[in-house]
Structure 1
Amino acid sequence: MSERSRLSDAHTEQPSLRGRRAAITGGTTGIGRAIAVLLASEGVRVFVCGRTSEHLDDALERIREVGEGDGVTVDLSRRDDVDRFFKAADAYLGGLDLAVINAAIPAEALADTSEDDLYYQTATDLTAYLSCTREAVRRMQAGADVILIGSMSANSRSAGSSVYVAAKAGIQGFAEALRKELAEKDIKVGLIEPGFTGADFQYPDYPPEKQVELIGQHKMLRAEDIAVAAHFMLRQPRRTAVSMMRVETRLDHP
């Protein structure tokens, strides 16, 4: 009996990601960067965006150590920059099989947020999610995947974060409805809601040394932990939709 025959019922099919093409928003720092690096290491050609050239250069250097990738600097709160990102992705990738919609910024309590900041934060954390997903889906054929990176804040709904909660709860509902809209087209939609994750997002309250300490205590996640969740979601057979994953720390954070 061959090795393949003996193991045929030991695990499910795990399609390869090699040769697929991915657009990743917010792919230059934190969770987006970790996902981009992991996918590139699996043979996915990735195209990322971020808001600063320093972060873009750093991310591309790491991505190119393990695979193929390129990217641009944009501000996705601007409609023209959403268009510019996807046109640049078209030119580099020549098509789109995967999209990870991830770019977000901090937002706090409504009473503590100026009107200008409110519009900018919701444009980045909610409207841009919808517009980027729309542009990605327009480019996709059957067999494609969309992953939205939300937040456990959509469920915990803590005081002091009402604007951020509004955006993440909106993404939660959007993902569920969009999944139903695209199911017959064989375009999967998955939502990952990370818990407390070490990234630039927590600065300055959680500088690098404090993050390392909390990660070591199992009270904070690494961005790479969320990348592994995205990888698992993408390696399922087409009949299987892992539609939502919540990834949280084993122990409560401070």
Structure 2
Amino acid sequence: MSDLAQPPVRDLADAHTDRPRLQGRKAIVTGGTTGIGRAIAVLLASEGVDVFVCGRDPQHLEDGLARIREVGKGDGINVDLGDTDGVDHFVEAARDYFGDFDIAIINAAIPAQGLTTMDAQALRYAIAVDFTAYLTTAYAAAKVMKNRGDIVFIGSVSAHLLGGDGSVYAGMKAGVAGFAEALRKELGPKGIKVCNIEPAKTGADFQYESYTAEEQAQAINDETMLRAEDIAVGVHYVLTQPRRSVVQQVVIAPRAEGAE
């Protein structure tokens, strides 16, 4: 046999299932200007998804959009989803930007503590952002998608690790987990997939005000804390599965968790 002979053709038909491409899809991302939401928006934009994000801080929005536009296409607005009309305003602005969308990443959240350590106003606001806005954004997204799309909730492992110092936050995340599971069964037959992704400790300014950036960087280096980009990769995995399948729940934790 000649050394120049061509290698035999490999039949790879069953080596990997078909995976849908993200190129050309349109996604809204709540809380898409910082942390996990920003990482998700940047990754989706880099894959050819047109993204529309929201956040409360104008500087964060400007910085986030600058990064998104370095790798792809996107826009966004400043809005407080805790306001009564916040979600409607965001979704209307998204539709003005790119029409109907087929991906909704529902991520925006604020910290919340134990029930007896919060005042009534802070409690109501946390519920409005961390729970009510999750449901109302999903409601608006399902109406836009009609019969095809993906809704991805960014929940938290706090839903399963109930602690007194974070009872309100844990309760809301447990509620999101239950809602996501039931909604998956409701919308699945209509062509809309629903997934709940639950990150463990992830580097961000969001929950760790006393945890300095240097300390977080060390924890990430020690692999006892995740990077926001790790969660974005999980979202990418969920969105690139065949339409016949749905990844209903993903828990992402640091490899060396518990080593501290």
TM class by shorter-chain length?
Answer: over 0.9
Residue 3 of structure 1: how far off its partner (Å): 10
1:239/1:3 Cα in 2 relative to 1: closer, same or farther (>3 Å)? farther
- SS at 1:161 equivalent: helix
Mapped partners of 2:34, 2:96: distance in 1 = 23
Residue 4 of structure 1: how far off its partner (Å): 9.3
Alignment size in residue pairs: 254
Q: Answer yes or no: is 1:57 the counterpart of 2:62.
A: yes
Mapped partners of 1:5, 1:97: distance in 2 = 36
Q: Answer yes or no: is 1:224 the counterpart of 2:229.
A: yes
Out of 141, 151, 167, the residue aligned to residue 162 of structure 1 is 167
The residue aligned with 1:97 is 102
Counterpart of 1:136 in structure 2: which amino acid? A
The residue aligned with 1:66 is 71
The residue aligned with 1:173 is 178
The alignment's TM-score, normalised by the length of structure 1, stands at 0.97
Q: Answer yes or no: is 1:207 the counterpart of 2:212.
A: yes
Contact 1:150-1:168 at 8 Å conserved across structures: yes
Greater gyration radius: 2
Deviations 1:81-101 (A, max 9, x none): 211101100011111110000
Contact 1:102-1:148 at 8 Å conserved across structures: yes
Residue 2 of structure 1: how far off its partner (Å): 11
Mapped partners of 1:83, 1:109: distance in 2 = 30
Out of 118, 139, 147, the residue aligned to residue 144 of structure 2 is 139
Residue 12 of structure 1: how far off its partner (Å): 1.1
Contact 1:47-1:71 at 8 Å conserved across structures: yes
Q: Percent identity?
A: 54
Mapped partners of 2:11, 2:27: distance in 1 = 34
Residue 199 of structure 1: how far off its partner (Å): 1.0
Residue 244 of structure 1: how far off its partner (Å): 0.4
- Cα RMSD of the aligned pairs, angstroms, is 1.6
The residue aligned with 1:44 is 49
